[in-house]
Structure 1
């Protein structure tokens, strides 16, 4: 009888350490993700700021672990700011399991973050920037053109409703699903998910390079005058397009990868692209 009473009234360990209040704090901090954006580590400071409530909750009396966690989340990070809440949730879940003694190393947490950045950016950019914002903008502009005050209100309220809901429910879903995911780390589930995310990210980035990177070489290679007096010119860009469309953008991507592997500062690579683009347009060997 006493045993049953002790079992019923004994203390229960909660499955998750973060309460709704903690998640709410993380949500408000995530709205400042781009507040300290820089070209070296992009959104890293905003990411670290967002994770602070969770880190304090997981390591309440261990300043050394808190400092190590903060340093861990000051590494390079960059993806779509709205859907980034999913990464916040998954990372918080992994930190929680680590604080409970799970065998989750620094590299595992970093690799999951890196693996999720590419796919989420590939999803967030076309959905929010490429679809939701233009559609709401066009709808609002059509109403405003008739003199209706609903025009700006439709755009402002609509885009912010999407932003708030995506950030909040993305954070909750990432934390809940992330907790379930990392508890299966012993069976290799986390490793498989990381590999899938990394492959998907490379696929998405490859597609974005082909779609958004345009390099044009307008130099004339051959010029043929026909009998009717018309002149047909063949440019270097036309020859490259016949070999492989987008080959110049692909070559630029591989060049940047090679420079990064050689530990060249990314800021120097960006500045170098600016210089080459300006000189190329000025001399005429690069065109729009």
Structure 2
């Protein structure tokens, strides 16, 4: 496929959520993204083009960071369908499985780990007054994300579904767990920088850390009871008097 068309398709992936709706979710955005490629593949077959467009108007929803990869894979499969190497009815089945699997992985890794890390590092740098480093960090993350999108789009188009095996070897779920551990440390660093220190505050933070450590060894039901007790206690305590006393 022409490089200009591929670039046009890739740039359109940034618009996947522009027409988000409650019925098909990101389906209109996906159809808009795929249209230049479909027109190039089925230029001489209007009926085949109409059927191909219809394949992308069904329900579609995944993490937007995965959209370039999925679009690359879909283009690879459409190319084979246009050449008669694959039956057209196989695409909807494979699409549903692939989309929902990557959606769950994207929510866990990107939404639950990477973006949180991005934010927490930025917040810690801002609190520490490291404005220049914060700008560099944001630019690095933004540039890295665009490189990731371009790479996965290119590999998805070149390798098709076989690239998913390569993706599996990245062990993103395990990396997500590691990032969450780092995030917990970053939260602690933020608390140390943003809250008062000395006096009874040190004792209060030590008690809070002890309760968190205790919760780690408790069963889920017991943790829920402990959390409920802490919330109820927090609602009835005279915080104004406590803060005034601690700040003395």
| TM-score interval (norm. to shorter) | 0.5 to 0.7
Instruction: Give structure 1 regions of 4+ aligned residues with deviation exceeding 6 angstroms.
Output: none
Contact 1:137/1:155 (<8 A) preserved = no
Show the counterpart of 2:123.
Answer: 141
Q: Relative to total residues, which structure has the larger helix share, 1 or 2?
A: 2
Show the counterpart of 1:161.
Answer: 143
Show the counterpart of 1:175.
Answer: 157
Gaps of 5+ in 1: 1-17, 182-192, 198-240, 242-288
Higher relative contact order (CA 8 A, sep 6+): 2
Question: Using the alignment, how far apart are the partners of 1:179 and 1:116 within structure 2?
Answer: 9
- RMSD value over aligned CA atoms? 2.4
1:108 and 2:76 equivalent? no
Show the counterpart of 2:110.
Answer: 128
Question: Using the alignment, how far apart are the partners of 1:87 and 1:173 within structure 2?
Answer: 10
Aligned length, in residue pairs: 167
Contact 1:23/1:171 (<8 A) preserved = no
1:49 and 2:32 equivalent? yes
Match of 2:61 among 67, 75, 78: 78
Gaps of 5+ in 2: 169-220, 222-248
1:35 and 2:23 equivalent? no
Q: Secondary structure at the match of 1:29?
A: helix
**How much does 1:156 deviate?**
3.2
1:96 and 2:91 equivalent? no
Question: Using the alignment, how far apart are the partners of 2:25 and 2:140 within structure 1?
Answer: 28
Q: Secondary structure at the match of 1:74?
A: coil
The 5-angstrom pairing of residues 114-263 of structure 1 reads 114-150=96-132, 152-154=134-136, 156-178=138-160
Contact 1:51/1:88 (<8 A) preserved = yes
Q: Secondary structure at the match of 1:83?
A: helix
Note the alpha carbon deviations across 1:235-260, whole angstroms, 9 max, x for none. xxxxxx7xxxxxxxxxxxxxxxxxxx
Contact 1:33/1:50 (<8 A) preserved = yes
Q: Secondary structure at the match of 1:38?
A: coil
TM-score with structure 2 setting the length: 0.61
TM-score with structure 1 setting the length: 0.53
Question: Using the alignment, how far apart are the partners of 2:104 and 2:63 within structure 1?
Answer: 8
